[in-house]
Amino acid sequence: MATVYINNQEVTIGDNERLNGIQAAARAGVQIPHYCWHPGLSVVASCRMCLVETGTRNPETGEVSMFPKLVPACQTPAKDGTVFITDSEKVRKARAFVEEALLIDHPIDCPICDKAGECLLQDYHFEHGQPERRADIKPFTSRKRPMGDTVMLFVDRCVMCSRCVRFCREVTGTSELMVVNRGAHEEIDVFPGKPLANKMSGNVVDLCPVGALGDRDFLYEQRVWFLKRHKSVCSSCSTGCSIWAEENQDRIYRLKPRENQHINKWWMCDEGRYGFHYVHDPKRLIGPQHRPAQGGSKGEPQKVEWEQVFNDLPQALAKGGRTAVVLSPFLTVEEAYLLAKYVRSINSEALIAVGHVPVVGTDETFPGGFTIRAEKCPNRRGVEEIAKHFSGPLTSWPDLVSKVAAGAFDTVWVTGSYPHEWVDEAAAQAFAKVPQLIVQDIFPSPLTEQANWLLPAAAFGERPGSYVNHADRLQSFDWVVRPPQGARSEGSVYWRLLGESGLFRPKEVLREVAAEIPYFHLAADPIPELGVDLKLNQLAETAAGPSA
């Protein structure tokens, strides 16, 4: 154990931890302002905002010998006996000078800047800056130019922290961004004809401590103080990045990565970041439809009320005959469990299959360690385990389609909620002969045209619950926005069909799942913010032997 002294506080640091002054001070609740340092990037110590005084405390005499110069806290390791003084007059003056210097050429166009409200330059100016502007220099105008399809550079707002440049070199390995010119004329730029076009480009906007890099998808959409941020999990691939979903009045405006060292560190990919727009697509299905059987053929679809669904559907299922349920990998663990449980409560022989698992290309791992998975769904692992629990050996989507085509079922309940078209004409034709087809989905498709019961469902951000990623890590999240009027989240539908009272309470369901299914045992306790690793449980079981 090492003891570090922050102003007058003692902080202990573990033997295997290597912290710098900024991190050690944070342990003591002391914030050292900084621009260029980021825990996920190399240290350049160039912004000089984190200057502190440092020294060493003699363990025997308790005497402190101070280093005569200011040092950047980001570059100074916290060792046993290291002393950091973060609030002396000398430190305050140096910070004020840096903050003042950064504002000399800054256009101070906060009223039209997307970053206003979450800008370090603003925050630090109020906390550490000079009381008045002493530089009588007319600032540059606000020049801007695109760096690529995703990012706009507002040249004069830049503080040259070089985070974005280092990100493209160290994390994506694509090196599109660079610094051009020298001294106060420095600018961030790309090489002509080589725009910022990597698959993680949006991260540079999050990294930018000021308003220099704007997200073109989000630009001028919202003032950030109107946004409410919710902890969520990205559903674009089976990595399952921890994210912040930011919304205002039931509309999602942007997604940002939420630090999770177990999964995505500080990053997320552009596919996930900009992939939420389908949620607000005007083509979304709204309002349930029923197509009563007319003789041998399916009749015309009729709009029905949800109350009618809840009244009539149980009876229809009870008379359904041979039944199959398809669990979409976009369902949460809780929803998949409730659906399987509900249908099994009516028909104990019902087959529980796993829906279509979309795979695009191959996994793509970047030099910084981040992986975009080819499997474009968030919860294959979760629904597989649920299906296995109820039906034993897995039935995959292609298996099920061929069984359906062979006329093996009288009733099939298909869940979808895929962000893109997922079922083709051929597969849909297989379902044409199913006497009773229940489809829960969000977009019209060849399959929804066949449905006897069409139940508009929830998209990303509209459902609460838990996802299990490719590495068996379970993360829980709450809903971010409500489904459009007329659509209902799958979980709330099953909850109602099961006759439960009140609102859908996924935490209760997850506790039940954890108690019922060994794979989910570790999900019994409240799920921590960063999720739980379900594999740890499996390891314990393997160690204890198959008898357990």
Taking the complex as a whole, the smallest distance from the CB of residue 112 to other proteins amounts, in Å, to 21
Query: Which residue lies nearer to other proteins by CB, 45 or 428?
Result: 45
Strand partners, 10: 5
Q: How many CA atoms lie within 13 A of 30 on its CB side?
A: 22
How far is residue 373 from each of residues 56, 324, 376, 471, measured CA to CA in Å? Answer: 47, 29, 7, 11
CB contact at 8 A, 1 and 13: yes
Query: Which residue lies nearer to other proteins by CB, 43 or 110?
Result: 43
Query: Which residue lies nearer to other proteins by CB, 120 or 343?
Result: 120
CB contact at 8 A, 149 and 101: no
Taking the complex as a whole, the smallest distance from the CB of residue 21 to other proteins amounts, in Å, to 13
Q: Which residues have a Cβ under 8 Å from the Cβ of 122 and sit 6 or more positions away?
A: 110, 115, 116
Return the closest-CA partner of residue 531 out of 491, 488, 472: 472
Taking the complex as a whole, the smallest distance from the CB of residue 68 to other proteins amounts, in Å, to 8
CA–CA gap between residue 109 and residue 51 (Å, rounded):
27
Taking the complex as a whole, the smallest distance from the CB of residue 392 to other proteins amounts, in Å, to 57
CA–CA gap between residue 273 and residue 131 (Å, rounded):
39
Query: Which residue lies nearer to other proteins by CB, 121 or 227?
Result: 121
Query: Which residue lies nearer to other proteins by CB, 67 or 226?
Result: 67
- The backbone torsions φ and ψ at residue 337, rounded to the nearest 5 degrees and listed phi first, read -65, -45
Taking the complex as a whole, the smallest distance from the CB of residue 357 to other proteins amounts, in Å, to 45
Reduced to 3 states (helix: H, G, I; strand: E, B; else coil), residue 545 is coil
CB contact at 8 A, 51 and 70: yes
Cα angle 52, 54, 59 (rounded to 5 degrees) comes to 155
CB contact at 8 A, 332 and 463: yes
Taking the complex as a whole, the smallest distance from the CB of residue 77 to other proteins amounts, in Å, to 10
CB contact at 8 A, 371 and 363: yes
Instruction: Please give the structure tokens belonging to residue 41.
Output: 């990037």
Query: Which residue lies nearer to other proteins by CB, 137 or 544?
Result: 137
The β-bridge relationship of strands 151-154 and 213-215 is antiparallel
Query: Which residue lies nearer to other proteins by CB, 93 or 535?
Result: 93
Query: Which residue lies nearer to other proteins by CB, 52 or 522?
Result: 52
Taking the complex as a whole, the smallest distance from the CB of residue 173 to other proteins amounts, in Å, to 16
Query: Which residue lies nearer to other proteins by CB, 101 or 432?
Result: 101
Encode 462-479: b = buried (16+ Cβ within 10 Å), e = exposed. bbbbbbbbbebbbbbbeb
Name the site residues for other proteins (rule: CB under 8 A).
43-49, 51, 69-71, 75, 93-94, 97-98, 101-102, 104-105, 132-138, 140, 159-160, 179, 181-186
Return the closest-CA partner of residue 191 out of 201, 183, 206, 179: 179
Taking the complex as a whole, the smallest distance from the CB of residue 189 to other proteins amounts, in Å, to 13
Taking the complex as a whole, the smallest distance from the CB of residue 98 to other proteins amounts, in Å, to 5
Query: Which residue lies nearer to other proteins by CB, 89 or 132?
Result: 132
Taking the complex as a whole, the smallest distance from the CB of residue 128 to other proteins amounts, in Å, to 13
